[in-house]
């Protein structure tokens, strides 16, 4: 619960074995390196061990504050352990190859569905709320006295910048264009983002090829 967490040191929440990992990613975030999702172990108030997938973003405009999104992936890790156990069992059977592919496919499918759900929640709620707040603050700044107009404008810009960052995280989890417009559009967007980073990208797609959702997702993740 929020009251159990607010005001506590993040290092106190994480199990001792994962504290070096947390420290490494915090240092990377402060250095401005692109955030990468990583997992940490925590114990809840009932003493049960949970695994969290964490993404960190360094917000230089807010006095060095680090924002984080954590998602409980305990069940996914349990499923991964089950897959590993099943894999060891299947090595002794003639159907090892087909069964293993099925288990891996189901795991990947579950991950993609989870990514799509989280990405949708971020885009439909968090991004929209932050955008509305930012625009409202900018609007208020236009009619406010000079002594507070600058502060309102700055807060508005910060909210809009944060909305864009959350939108980026949402796209990285599961780009909505892949589901709504297909693989070609998703790859074109990916290529455009890479070109914005200064990379030379060449894209050649056979847009007439009909693929199912799993194949589209696989090809996009490979790209």
The secondary structure of the chain, three-state, reads: CHHHHCCCCHHHHECHHHHHHHHHHHHHHHCCCCCCCEEEEEECCCCCEEEEEEEEEEEHHHCCEEEEEEEECHHHHHHHHHHHHHHHHHCCCCCHHHHHHHHHHHHHHHHHHHHHHHHHHHHHHHHHHHHHHHHHHHHHHHCCCHHHHHHHHHHHHHHHHHHHHHHHHHHHHCCHHHHHCCHHHHHHHHHHHHHHCCCCCCCCCCCCCCCCHHHHHHHHHHC
Strand partners for 59 = 65
Note the pLDDT tens digit of each residue in 23-50. 988 888 888 777 678 889 988 777 788 8
Which whole number is the average pLDDT over 77-87? Answer: 83
Which percentage of the chain shows pLDDT scores above 90?
Answer: 6
Spatial contact of 216 and 183, defined as CB atoms under 8 Å apart: yes
- Quick check: pTM over 0.85? no
* pLDDT at residue 144, as a whole number: 80
* pLDDT at residue 94, as a whole number: 66
* pLDDT at residue 152, as a whole number: 86
Is the predicted pLDDT of residue 215 greater than 80, yes or no? yes
pLDDT, greater one: 199 or 176:
199
* pLDDT at residue 209, as a whole number: 67
- Kindly report the backbone phi and psi dihedral angles of residue 36, in degrees, each rounded to the nearest multiple of 5, phi listed first: -125, 140
Is the predicted pLDDT of residue 60 greater than 70, yes or no? no
Q: Binning pLDDT at 50, 70 and 90, where does residue 117 land? A: confident
* pLDDT at residue 19, as a whole number: 92
Is the predicted pLDDT of residue 201 greater than 90, yes or no? yes
Which whole number is the average pLDDT over 44-65? Answer: 77
* pLDDT at residue 200, as a whole number: 94
pLDDT, the chain, mean: 82
* pLDDT at residue 202, as a whole number: 92
* pLDDT at residue 148, as a whole number: 82
Note the pLDDT tens digit of each residue in 150-193. 888 888 888 888 888 887 777 777 777 787 788 888 899 889 98
Q: Binning pLDDT at 50, 70 and 90, where does residue 208 land? A: low
Measure the CA–CA gap between 100 and 32, rounded to whole angstroms. Answer: 40
């Amino acid at each position: 619960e929020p009251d159990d967490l607010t005001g506590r040191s993040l290092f106190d929440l994480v199990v001792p074995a994962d504290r070096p990992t947390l420290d490494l990613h915090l240092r990377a975030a402060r250095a401005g390196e692109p955030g990468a999702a990583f997992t940490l172990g925590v114990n809840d108030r009932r003493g049960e061990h949970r695994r969290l997938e964490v993404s960190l973003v360094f917000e230089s405009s807010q006095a060095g504050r680090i924002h984080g999104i954590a998602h409980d992936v305990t069940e996914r890790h349990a499923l991964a352990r089950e897959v590993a156990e099943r894999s060891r069992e299947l090595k002794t059977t003639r159907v090892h190859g087909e069964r293993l592919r099925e288990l891996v496919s189901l795991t990947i499918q579950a991950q993609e569905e989870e990514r799509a759900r989280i990405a949708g929640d971020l885009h439909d709620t968090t991004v929209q709320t932050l955008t509305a707040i930012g625009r409202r603050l900018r609007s208020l700044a236009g009619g406010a006295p000079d002594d507070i107009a600058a502060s309102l404008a700055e807060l508005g810009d910060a909210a809009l910048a944060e909305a864009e960052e959350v939108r980026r995280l949402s796209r990285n989890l599961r780009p909505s264009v892949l589901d709504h417009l297909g693989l070609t559009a998703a790859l074109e967007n990916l290529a455009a983002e890479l070109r914005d980073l200064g990379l030379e990208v060449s894209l050649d797609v056979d847009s007439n090829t009909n693929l199912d959702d799993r194949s589209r997702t696989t090809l996009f993740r490979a790209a």
